[in-house]
């Protein structure tokens, strides 16, 4: 084997290892998110998946936060009309 072929083999091994680690982490995070935010009731064709109580609370508080943030932005924008920019 030449030096170039050895380097290519090393790079293939490293890239393959990194790819497998990334896939494992991604699958783990996906499973975690599904188990925390989703709940499935029933079996087979009659199974339904809905947001868990925790997921509903997250959505509600995110909506409240968004509404307050946008309201503050609008009030500050309207209050600054006619003022010089900083």
Query: Is the model more confident about 46 or about 69?
Result: 69
Q: What are phi and psi of 50, to 5 degrees?
A: -130, 170
Q: What are phi and psi of 48, to 5 degrees?
A: -125, 140
Average pLDDT over residues 52-67: 94
Distances (CA, A) of 37 to 23, 49, 62, 76, 82: 21, 10, 14, 35, 46
And the tokens for 43? 């079996």
3-state helix, strand, coil in the chain (%, to 5): 75, 10, 15
What pLDDT is recorded for position 42?
83
Report residue 85's pLDDT band, with 50, 70 and 90 as the boundaries: low
Average pLDDT over residues 24-32: 93
d(CA 19, CA 8): 16
What pLDDT is recorded for position 80?
85
């Amino acid at each position: 084997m030449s030096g170039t072929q050895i380097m290519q083999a090393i790079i293939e091994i490293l890239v393959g290892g990194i790819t497998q680690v990334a896939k494992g982490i991604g699958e783990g995070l996906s499973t975690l998110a599904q188990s925390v935010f989703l709940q499935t009731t029933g079996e087979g064709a009659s199974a339904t998946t809905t947001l868990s109580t925790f997921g509903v609370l997250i959505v509600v508080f995110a909506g409240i936060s968004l509404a307050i943030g946008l309201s503050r932005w609008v009030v500050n924008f309207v209050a600054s009309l006619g003022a010089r920019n900083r």
